[in-house]
């Protein structure tokens, strides 16, 4: 009996690596997998040991009429030629480009992953347009995988999705955590602190992720400037998407000398392993994967009390939740953890235990495999 075909359509190579790697490995043992993705390297999966076919397709992140129409036509051609049994999209642009051709080509099992809504903090026409795109994706795909229960409730409340067409695996998260990669290491702790000139007794707050308007980084920098302890340090790891580096330096004020801006790193777990508390003051998140990745290492979190994140943090057990943009609360929670190292340790251990039980990437991959086996 020939193996069923799954075609993943993904906006970026980064999204494949972040959300899908572990699942692709497990699924490829039972299905023929093809990944259609915007990449210049059609061998990037083979280079990391996955014998999976890649079809490069230039999927632009922004709306470009000619480019988008070209992608649309190419996807129809690919689907008609290859006749996949499943189409599974990741990222909003890939979703709108893949679901309609899939529908027109009569591919019955069409799946989209919802991992956060870019329109949540927008207003007027832009909000309406982006929300309409999500609505169209949700109604063109018979099955929508959502990466948190609170996000699913929000999307249903906003009438973007209906309950019958949504799936959340376990306690949430699309990808889970690679427990072999995200783990505490005394050696790495010492090495990283030497590299970035932070003493071993320094207390490190860390942010990992993109530097953009939705992440609340300016709030974090302002809060850090108000911390009185000379032992407090702030590490920010991630690519700058909007010239935020200069603003963060300026807003850190008198504590600027204890700020470390690392930039992009393909090994963020090294910096997490050298830190004490994760900070994620975002205005929107689908789940907040970095929270459970930090938790796997034993870090509690200070984070925004918004949908998505509230699934990843148990208040006063694995971290502390504040309202978005609440500068006073961020400062208060940073000072609290600085003054209570035993609570940092106990919250971190509870966070790690929860990740091992509920968010191991191997567990999530089994959810994915069971899901596909049920629908083949």
pLDDT tier for residue 48 given thresholds of 50, 70 and 90: confident
Q: What is the pLDDT of residue 239?
A: 92
Give yes or no: residues 146 and 232 share one domain. Answer: no
Q: What is the dihedral of CA 141, 313, 189, 262, to 10 degrees?
A: 60
Mean pLDDT of 336-342: 97
Instruction: Inform me whether the pLDDT recorded for 230 exceeds 90.
Output: yes
Tell whether 281 is covered by a domain: yes
Give kind and range of the element (H or E) at residue 53.
strand 53-56
Tell whether 367 is covered by a domain: yes
- Whether the CB-CB separation of 242 and 212 falls below 8 Å is answered with yes
Q: How many residues does the chain have?
A: 376
Tell whether 275 is covered by a domain: yes
Q: What tens digit of pLDDT does each residue of 57-85 get?
A: 998 877 788 889 999 999 999 999 999 99
Number of structural domains in the chain = 2
C-alpha–C-alpha distance, residues 273 and 161, integer Å = 38
C-alpha–C-alpha distance, residues 117 and 303, integer Å = 18
Instruction: Inform me whether the pLDDT recorded for 128 exceeds 80.
Output: yes
CA distances 167 to 113, 215, 267, Å, are 9, 26, 31
Instruction: Inform me whether the pLDDT recorded for 43 exceeds 80.
Output: yes
C-alpha–C-alpha distance, residues 248 and 238, integer Å = 13
Q: Among 287, 293, 190, 284, which Cα is nearest to 237's?
A: 293
Q: Among 268, 305, 297, which Cα is nearest to 355's?
A: 297
Tell whether 334 is covered by a domain: yes
Instruction: Inform me whether the pLDDT recorded for 132 exceeds 80.
Output: yes
Q: What is the pLDDT of residue 111?
A: 97
Give yes or no: residues 216 and 161 share one domain. Answer: no
Give yes or no: residues 122 and 253 share one domain. Answer: no
pLDDT tier for residue 289 given thresholds of 50, 70 and 90: very high
Q: Among 152, 18, 36, which Cα is nearest to 94's?
A: 36
Tell whether 23 is covered by a domain: yes
Q: Is the dihedral of CA 115, 108, 66, 13 positive or negative?
A: positive
Q: What tens digit of pLDDT does each residue of 155-190 get?
A: 999 999 999 999 999 999 999 999 999 999 999 999
Give yes or no: residues 239 and 278 share one domain. Answer: yes
Tell whether 257 is covered by a domain: yes
- Whether the CB-CB separation of 189 and 274 falls below 8 Å is answered with yes
Give yes or no: residues 247 and 316 share one domain. Answer: yes
H-only helix segments in the chain: 13-15, 21-27, 65-82, 92-104, 124-140, 149-157, 186-195, 217-225, 245-251, 268-273, 289-297, 309-312, 327-339, 341-358, 361-375
> Which has more pLDDT, 192 or 18?
192
Q: Among 65, 68, 66, which Cα is nearest to 38's?
A: 68
C-alpha–C-alpha distance, residues 18 and 175, integer Å = 7
Give yes or no: residues 168 and 243 share one domain. Answer: no
pLDDT tier for residue 91 given thresholds of 50, 70 and 90: confident
Instruction: Inform me whether the pLDDT recorded for 208 exceeds 80.
Output: yes
Give yes or no: residues 354 and 365 share one domain. Answer: no
- Whether the CB-CB separation of 242 and 272 falls below 8 Å is answered with no
Give yes or no: residues 53 and 163 share one domain. Answer: yes
Exposure on the CB side of residue 344, measured as CA atoms within 13 A: 20
What CATH number is given to the structural domain containing 301? 3.40.50.2000
Instruction: Inform me whether the pLDDT recorded for 209 exceeds 80.
Output: yes
Q: What is the pLDDT of residue 17?
A: 87
Buried b / exposed e across 300-323, counting CB within 10 Å, b at 16+? Answer: bbbbbebbbbbbbbeeeebbbbbe
Mean pLDDT of 298-323: 96
Give yes or no: residues 165 and 208 share one domain. Answer: no
> Which has more pLDDT, 112 or 91?
112
Percentage of the residues of the chain whose pLDDT score is greater than 90: 85
**Per-residue tokens: 285:** 């998140």
pLDDT tier for residue 116 given thresholds of 50, 70 and 90: confident
Q: What is the pLDDT of residue 361?
A: 94
Instruction: Inform me whether the pLDDT recorded for 350 exceeds 90.
Output: yes
In Å, how far from its chain's centre is CA 125? 26
Give kind and range of the element (H or E) at residue 374.
helix 361-375
Give yes or no: residues 210 and 348 share one domain. Answer: yes
Q: Among 142, 170, 146, which Cα is nearest to 158's?
A: 146
Q: What tens digit of pLDDT does each residue of 264-285 get?
A: 998 999 999 999 999 999 999 9
Q: What is the pLDDT of residue 176?
A: 93
Q: What is the pLDDT of residue 118?
A: 86
- Whether the CB-CB separation of 214 and 283 falls below 8 Å is answered with yes
Number of helices (H), then strands (E), in the chain: 15, 13
Q: In degrees rounded to 5, what are phi and psi of residue 109? A: -95, 100
SS3 112: strand
Give yes or no: residues 41 and 171 share one domain. Answer: yes
pLDDT tier for residue 347 given thresholds of 50, 70 and 90: very high
The model carries a pTM of 0.91
What SS3 string covers 253-317? HHHHHHEEEEECCCCHHHHHHCCCEEEECCCCCCCCHHHHHHHHHCCCEEEECCCCHHHHCCECC
Q: What is the pLDDT of residue 375?
A: 87
Q: How many CB atoms lie within 10 A of CB 6?
A: 23
Tell whether 100 is covered by a domain: yes
Tell whether 256 is covered by a domain: yes
pLDDT tier for residue 18 given thresholds of 50, 70 and 90: confident
Give yes or no: residues 205 and 325 share one domain. Answer: yes
Question: In sequence order, which residues have a C-beta less than 8 Å from that of residue 275 and are 6 or more positions away?
Answer: 204, 205, 206, 235, 294, 299
- Domain around 278: 186-358
């Amino acid at each position: 009996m020939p193996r069923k075909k799954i075609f993943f359509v993904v906006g970026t190579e980064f999204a494949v690596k972040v959300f899908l790697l572990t699942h692709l490995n497990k699924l490829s043992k039972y299905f023929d997998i093809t990944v259609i993705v915007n990449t210049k390297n059609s061998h990037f999966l083979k280079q990391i040991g996955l014998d999976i076919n890649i079809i490069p397709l230039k999927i632009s992140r922004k709306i470009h009429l000619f480019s988008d129409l070209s992608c649309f036509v190419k996807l129809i051609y690919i689907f008609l030629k290859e006749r996949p049994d499943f189409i599974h999209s990741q990222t909003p642009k890939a979703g709108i480009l893949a679901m309609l051709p899939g529908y027109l080509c009569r591919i019955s099992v069409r799946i989209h992953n919802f991992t956060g809504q870019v329109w949540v903090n927008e207003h007027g026409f832009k909000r309406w347009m982006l929300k309409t795109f999500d609505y169209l994706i949700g109604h063109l795909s018979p099955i929508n995988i959502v990466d948190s229960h609170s996000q699913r409730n929000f999307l249903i409340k906003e009438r973007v999705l209906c309950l019958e067409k949504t799936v959340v695996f376990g306690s949430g998260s699309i990808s889970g955590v690679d427990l072999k990669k995200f783990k505490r290491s005394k050696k790495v702790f010492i090495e990283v602190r030497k590299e970035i000139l932070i003493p071993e007794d320094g207390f490190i707050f860390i942010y990992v992720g993109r530097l953009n308007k939705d992440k609340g980084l300016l709030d974090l920098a302002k809060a850090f400037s108000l911390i009185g302890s000379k032992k407090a340090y702030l590490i920010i790891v991630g690519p700058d998407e909007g010239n935020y580096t200069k603003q963060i330096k300026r807003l850190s004020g008198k504590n600027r000398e204890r700020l470390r801006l690392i930039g992009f790193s393909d090994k963020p777990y090294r910096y997490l392993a050298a830190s004490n508390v994760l900070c994620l003051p975002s205005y929107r998140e689908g789940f907040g994967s970095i929270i459970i990745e930090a938790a796997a290492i034993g870090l509690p979190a200070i984070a925004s009390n918004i949908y998505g994140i509230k699934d990843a943090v148990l208040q006063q057990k694995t971290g502390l939740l504040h309202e978005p943009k609440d500068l006073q609360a961020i400062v208060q929670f940073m000072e609290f953890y600085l003054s209570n190292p035993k609570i940092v340790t106990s919250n971190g251990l509870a966070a790690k235990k929860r990740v091992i039980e509920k968010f191991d990437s191997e567990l999530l991959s089994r959810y994915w495999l069971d899901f596909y086996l049920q629908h083949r």
